[in-house]
């Protein structure tokens, strides 16, 4: 009984520390997508998914945004992912700084397989793992801006529409088939094979995306 009386406060302290760490989190990779491939319900649906995952992890007291761009369509202008995520700095669930500001995020950031953790602080499977889940949806160019032109790089602006659509993805583990810059890019590696869950998995993805605390 004496050991139990000592252990309970210790466990409470550990739990409190973990909760405080989660509350400080301002960046994560989604542990799972909505399950409909690149159909995220548009930007609003993706943001809701980020918010729900953050709340479940104890970090819901912030405004969470998905790092996703959209292309100009139906009279609506393009949206750049870099403009959606606040000013930084951003920390993962372990308190490690990913980047201090938007310029740093799109420059010499600290985003690797070891730091691009999910909302629970877990490592996301990469190229050396099975299954590989390193393709992260972004719809963005390397500088965080949207694509211009007719080619779909956002799967119908994250509605999954269009049989010929595709989504630009990045590699959270900074690894690919070669040592080229795109293979090492966290946000602009290559287009997906399609927009379904199966198509995303075909190139090493699972419909995951980045979430940032904008406020």
pLDDT level of residue 5 (50, 70, 90 thresholds): very low
Query: What was the pLDDT predicted at 11?
Result: 36
- Planar angle of CA 101, 107, 109, nearest 5 degrees: 70
Q: How many residues does the chain have?
A: 215
Query: What was the pLDDT predicted at 21?
Result: 57
Domain regions of the chain by residue span: 2-213
Query: What was the pLDDT predicted at 159?
Result: 94
Tell which wins on pLDDT, 61 or 2. Answer: 61
Judged against a pLDDT cut of 80, whether residue 165 lies above it is answered with yes
φ, ψ for residue 173, nearest 5 deg: -95, 0
Q: Which two tokens stand for residue 27?
A: 């960046």
Element (H, E) at 99: strand 97-99
Mean pLDDT, the chain, whole residue set: 90
Residue 170 to residue 151: CA distance in whole angstroms:
18
Q: 35-93, pLDDT tens digit by residue?
A: 999 999 999 999 999 999 999 999 999 999 999 999 999 899 999 999 999 999 999 99
Judged against a pLDDT cut of 90, whether residue 160 lies above it is answered with no
pLDDT level of residue 149 (50, 70, 90 thresholds): confident
Does residue 86 come out as left (phi exceeding 0), alpha (psi in the -120 to 50 range) or beta?
Answer: left
Lowest-confidence region among 4-18, 28-42, 96-110:
4-18
Q: Specify the CATH number for 2-213; select among 3.10.100.10, 1.10.569.10, 3.40.50.2000, 1.10.10.10.
A: 3.10.100.10
């Amino acid at each position: 009984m004496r050991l139990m009386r000592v252990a309970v406060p210790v466990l409470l302290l550990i739990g409190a520390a973990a909760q405080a760490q989660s509350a400080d989190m301002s960046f994560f990779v989604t542990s799972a997508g909505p399950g409909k491939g690149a159909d995220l319900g548009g930007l609003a649906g993706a943001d809701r998914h980020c918010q729900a995952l953050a709340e479940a992890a104890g970090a819901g007291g912030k405004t969470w945004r998905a790092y996703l761009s959209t292309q100009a369509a139906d009279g609506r202008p393009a949206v750049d992912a870099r403009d959606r995520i606040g000013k930084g700095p951003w920390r993962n669930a372990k308190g490690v700084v990913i980047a201090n500001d938007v310029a740093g995020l799109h420059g010499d950031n600290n985003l690797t397989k070891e730091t691009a953790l999910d909302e629970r602080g877990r490592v996301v499977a990469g190229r050396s793992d099975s299954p590989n889940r390193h393709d992260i949806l972004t719809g963005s160019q390397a500088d965080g801006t949207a694509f211009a032109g007719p080619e779909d790089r956002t799967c119908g602006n994250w509605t999954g529409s269009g049989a010929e659509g595709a989504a630009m993805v990045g590699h959270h583990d900074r690894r690919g088939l070669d040592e080229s810059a795109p293979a090492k890019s966290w946000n602009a590696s290559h287009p997906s094979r399609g927009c379904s869950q199966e198509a995303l998995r075909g190139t090493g993805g699972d419909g995951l995306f980045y979430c940032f605390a904008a406020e």
